[in-house]
Amino acid sequence: MSKFVRVAQTSQSLSLAAMEEASRLGLRTADIEHLFLALVINDQAAGRALRDIGIDLDAARRAVEEQHAAQLASLGIEASFPEAGRIVFHETDGYEWSKRASDLIARSADKDKAGDAAAVLRELVAEPSGMIADILERLGTTPAALLAQLDAPDSSTPATTPAAAAMRGRISGSTETFVPAPIERVWDYLAEPTNIPDWEMSVGSIENARQDAAVGGVWTGFARERRPDGKPVKVKPRFLRRRIELVAAHGPERIAWSFAYPDAPRSNAALYEFSLAHTSGGTQVSITTSWSRRTGWRRVAGLPLRPIQKFIVWITLFQTGGAISRAFR
User: Mean pLDDT of all residues in the chain?
Assistant: 89
Confidence of residue 162 (pLDDT cuts 50, 70, 90): very low
List of residues 6+ apart from 226 with CB closer than 8 A: 204, 232, 233
For the residues 253-280, what does the mean pLDDT come to?
Answer: 94
Confidence of residue 75 (pLDDT cuts 50, 70, 90): confident
For position 32, what pLDDT does the model report? 98
For position 158, what pLDDT does the model report? 54
The sign of the dihedral angle between the CA atoms of 121, 279, 20, 4 is positive
For position 169, what pLDDT does the model report? 57
Confidence of residue 157 (pLDDT cuts 50, 70, 90): low
Q: Provide the Cα torsion 306, 311, 317, 322; round to 10°.
A: 180
For the residues 174-190, what does the mean pLDDT come to?
Answer: 97
pLDDT score of 166 more than 70: no
pLDDT score of 311 more than 80: no
List of residues 6+ apart from 147 with CB closer than 8 A: 122, 125
List of residues 6+ apart from 241 with CB closer than 8 A: 220, 221, 222, 223, 261, 262, 263
Angle, CA 3 vertex, CA 168 and CA 284 arms, to 5°: 60
Total residue length of the chain: 329
For position 247, what pLDDT does the model report? 96
For the residues 91-110, what does the mean pLDDT come to?
Answer: 96
pLDDT score of 215 more than 80: yes
Confidence of residue 208 (pLDDT cuts 50, 70, 90): confident
For position 74, what pLDDT does the model report? 87
Best CA proximity match to 230, nearest among 92, 74, 125 = 92
For the residues 26-55, what does the mean pLDDT come to?
Answer: 97
For the residues 185-197, what does the mean pLDDT come to?
Answer: 96
- Domains, the chain, with CATH or none: 3-151 (1.10.1780.10), 170-326 (3.30.530.20)
pLDDT score of 164 more than 50: no
Residue 237 to residue 250: CA distance in whole angstroms:
35
More reliable by pLDDT, 1 or 232: 232
- E-assigned strand segments in the chain: 29-30, 96-97, 170-179, 205-207, 218-222, 241-250, 254-260, 270-279, 282-292
